[in-house]
Structures are given as C-alpha cells and as structure tokens.
C-alpha cells in the first residue's frame, strides 16, 4: 500500500472517531505558542524595543487561533447534529444563569476532551488531577509575585482547566466519592486564595490591594454559602459569577494587562493596571452580589420548609 494512502486512511479513521479533535488541536497549538512567546518575552528573551511587536502579535494570534477554533467547532458540531427543527418565534429562549453557559462552555469542553481522554486512559486518579490544579495555582501565585502577568494568566487558566477535569474524570472512571469531592473543594479554596495572594503581592503599593481583598472575600463567600446550604440539605448553584467565571476573568485579565503593558509605547501610557483594576472590581462586585443572592435564595428555601429557627 502506498504511504500516502496509508496515512490518509489513518487520518480519516482518526477524524471519524473524534471529529472535534481539529478545533482542540488549533486551540492548544495557539495556547502553546502564546505561552512559549510569553516565556521568552517575560524572562528577558526579547529586547524591550520589541514589546510592541510582541503585544500586537499576541493579540493577533490569540484572536485568530480562538476564532478559527470556535468556527471549526461550530461547523463540525452542526454537521454532527444534523438539521435542527426551526424554533417558533413566540418561544422564549432561556436566559443563562451564568456568564459561561452555552456555546463557549461547550467549545471549551470539546477543547479539553482530548486531554480528558488521555488522563482517563492513563488511569490517573482524580485526586492527582486536583493536586495538579493546586500546583498550577501555586505557580500562578509565584508568577504574579514576580510580575509575569502574561504567564500567570495562562497558568491560572490551566489550573482552572484541571479543576474542570477532575470531576469529569471521576465520573468517567466511576471513582466519584465524598472524600474526593471534599478534597477538591478544599484545594479549590486554597488555590483561589493563592491567586489573590499573588495579586496582593504584585499590587501591594496600589489602591488595587483593597479591591483584591474585597474580591477574595466575595469569592470565598460564594463558595461558603453553597457549602453551608448543602450542609443544611439545600442545593444551591444559582449566581452569575461562580468559580469558572472568576478563573476566566482573572486569567484573561492578567494576560491582557500584560499585553497592554507591552503596548505602552504605542498607547502612550501603561493601561495594564487599569484593565486589571477593572477586572478585579467586576469580580469584587459580582462575587459579593452572587454570595448575597445565594443567601437570599437559601433563606427563602429554608423559610418555605419551616427551618428558619435561628442561628446554630
């Protein structure tokens, strides 16, 4: 059999088994290239005069790779799903409760699915994946302290990705347990605290320090209200700014703050701290609003059940 025919058949067979491998490959290739360039730039591999070119190249590569990956994903998923019935105009679409519900979440799950399948095949225990997520957050904390925001942003996003994978792997491998869920929750809180500590160290001489503390308090209260509710027998997953949204905001906030710093010569000012401050302010406001809305929701649920007898 000719070599070309052999390789073509192998590629066709692989594509038929996993049609979403292409958008995942595009996304991970883009991320790997951005991380490599970011490491070279922030660790002194490029001359400062090249900052502007690197910033523009990063923006171009980020949006080009991301948009192409999303477009390919949508085309493949539409082809796989087949023709869909036309929705009636009088039917109201459900408004998502969270910022990352819908197409973006489905796309990212397809991006991480090859990694998920690989970890399942290697029989890696979900608790190890949880520990890896914490490790990424620890590295992110160090990078933030050193001022390497570009790398820190990607590490934060990778840590959040591993946090998504541990539960999915546990369900796929039949290793779901209360012990694992408890370990995951505790390590998530410690990981989130580490990121805010890194930000606090980086902005220790700025007014942003107070916003960071407010954001950290809100983030912890979002998790605490859910945990306390579940301890009382109430399921509570409401709220707009939950952990995945906070991870995305912090990760991309750090990445684009670093890019704006690189473009300071073109823009005439360093707009990075302003963007990071805006992101942190959004997290501070929305996380505390989410915690408060959860408190109201839980108290109403407990009130209906006649369980509002006072503090324990």
- Over residues 275-283, mean pLDDT: 93
Global pTM value: 0.84
Q: How far is CA 71 from the centre of its chain?
A: 20
Task: Specify the pLDDT at position 242.
Answer: 81
Averaged pLDDT score across all residues of the chain = 82
| Angle between helical axes of 178-202 and 126-146 (0-180°, round to 10) | 10
Residue 194 lies in a domain: no
Give the least confident one: 182-191, 228-237, 281-290: 228-237
Q: Bigger pLDDT: 43 or 230?
A: 230
Cα 138 to Cα 156: distance, rounded to the nearest angstrom = 9
Yes or no: say if 244 and 147 are a contact pair by the CB < 8 Å rule.
no
Strands in 44-161 per DSSP E: none
Burial of 219 per CB tally in 10 Å (0-12, 13-18, 19+)? buried
Give the least confident one: 68-82, 208-222, 287-301: 68-82
Q: How many domains does the chain fold into?
A: 1
Percentage of residues of the chain with pLDDT beyond 90: 39
- Indicate if the pLDDT at residue 95 is higher than 60: no
Residue 39 lies in a domain: yes
The CA-atom distances, in angstroms, between 296 and each of 76, 209, 231, 232, 283 are: 42, 29, 16, 15, 20
| Angle between helical axes of 243-262 and 208-231 (0-180°, round to 10) | 160
Residue 29 lies in a domain: yes
- Over residues 149-173, mean pLDDT: 92
Residue 11 — very low, low, confident or very high, per pLDDT cuts 50/70/90? very low
Q: Domain containing 74: what range?
A: 19-80
Residue 35 lies in a domain: yes
Task: Specify the pLDDT at position 12.
Answer: 45
Residue 68 lies in a domain: yes
| Angle between helical axes of 126-146 and 149-173 (0-180°, round to 10) | 170
- Over residues 47-75, mean pLDDT: 82
Cα 126 to Cα 176: distance, rounded to the nearest angstrom = 9
Give the least confident one: 103-112, 208-217, 241-250: 103-112
pLDDT 10s digits, 208-234: 999 999 999 999 999 899 888 888 888
Residue 285 lies in a domain: no
SS3 (DSSP) at 135 = helix
Task: Specify the pLDDT at position 61.
Answer: 87
């Amino acid at each position: 059999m000719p070599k070309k025919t052999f390789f073509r058949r192998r590629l066709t067979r692989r594509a038929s088994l996993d049609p979403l491998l292409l958008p995942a490959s595009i996304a991970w290739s883009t991320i790997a290239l951005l991380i490599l360039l970011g490491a070279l730039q922030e660790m002194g591999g490029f001359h400062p005069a090249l900052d502007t070119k690197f910033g523009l190249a990063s923006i171009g590569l980020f949006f080009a790779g991301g948009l192409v990956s999303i477009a390919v994903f949508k085309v493949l998923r539409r082809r796989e799903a087949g023709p869909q019935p036309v929705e009636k105009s009088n039917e109201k679409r459900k408004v998502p409760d969270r910022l990352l519900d819908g197409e973006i979440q489905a796309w990212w799950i397809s991006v991480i699915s090859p990694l998920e399948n690989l970890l399942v095949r290697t029989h890696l225990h979900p608790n190890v994946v949880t520990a890896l997520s914490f490790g990424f957050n620890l590295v992110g904390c160090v990078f933030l302290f050193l001022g390497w925001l570009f790398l820190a942003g990607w590490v934060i996003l990778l840590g959040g990705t591993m946090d998504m994978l541990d539960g999915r792997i546990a369900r796929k491998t039949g290793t779901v347990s209360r012990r694992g869920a408890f370990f995951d929750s505790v390590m998530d809180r410690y990981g989130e605290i580490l990121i805010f500590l890194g930000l606090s160290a980086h902005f220790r001489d700025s007014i942003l320090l107070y916003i960071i503390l407010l954001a950290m308090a809100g983030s912890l209260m979002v998790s605490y209200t859910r945990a306390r509710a579940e301890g009382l027998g109430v399921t509570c997953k409401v709220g707009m700014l939950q952990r995945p949204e906070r991870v995305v905001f912090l990760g991309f906030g750090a990445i684009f703050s670093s890019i704006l710093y690189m473009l300071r010569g073109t823009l005439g000012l360093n707009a990075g701290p302003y963007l990071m401050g805006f992101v942190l302010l959004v997290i501070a406001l929305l996380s505390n609003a989410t915690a408060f809305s959860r408190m109201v929701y839980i108290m109403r649920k407990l009130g209906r059940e006649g369980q509002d007898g006072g503090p324990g």
